[in-house]
Amino acid sequence: MKFGVVTFPGSNCDADMIYVLETIMGQEVEPLWHKDHDLKGCDLIVLPGGFSYGDYLRSGAIAKLSPIMEEVIKHANNGGYVMGICNGFQILTESGLLDGALLHNNTQKFISKNVHLKVGSSNTALTKGLDSNKAHKIPIAHGEGRFYAGEDTMKKILDNDQVLFYYADEEGAVTDAANPNGSLLNIAGICNEKRNVFGMMPHPERAADSELNNIDGKAFFESLLKFC
């Protein structure tokens, strides 16, 4: 599989993602620039974390207007795989590829720490290979990670089994205490109805190398490779 990792002005997790995909997972990776008009034959496009365009207007609101996003949207609409992590998730909601929005954390503070995730839907390429009984320890680092959607949209997301991950405690219990940012229903990630676009706030690429003493995130990439 050929991965394309997009770099926007202000991206800061693009190199991390390229390292994991290329060095840890042994995959072909094509760096893509925000001004590009060509996805260069990539099968799965990754929108990495960071602060695209400084988040000066609203997280992801300017990045969605980048030339590369025209191609990413076409790719997704044609059934191609797209994955957005943290700021990438925000860009996906701003561009309409995913429902809902990411609002300021309810603490009004930037949060950087490890959290635990419980798998929601096991019916996606990103989650099929994950142990649904395990609480996966994955880092977060965001100021606008509170997932929100209106009542009708939320009903559609739940009815269509589109929730990828819930914030949970170490035992996998989805509780208010385990919710780091006030996300609706503890939601940490969702997919689209066609199940080819994935968005999540936590960073699996920061938990995929044994040198970091945590490889829970590696299973996310293994699942993608097996089921995409």
The catalytic residue among 42, 86, 142, 144 is 86
CA distance 19 to 90: 22
H or E element, residue 138:
strand 136-142
What three-state secondary structure class fits 44? Answer: strand
Structural tokens at position 51: 């602060």
Q: Given its phi and psi angles, is residue 167 left (phi above 0), alpha (psi -120 to 50 degrees) or beta? A: beta
42 is catalytic: no
170 is catalytic: no
The catalytic residue among 34, 75, 116, 203 is 203
H or E element, residue 157:
helix 151-159
104 is catalytic: no
- Whether 209 and 215 have beta carbons less than 8 Å apart is answered as yes
Q: Which of 184, 187, 5 is nearest to 84 (CA)?
A: 5
Catalytic residues: 86, 203, 205
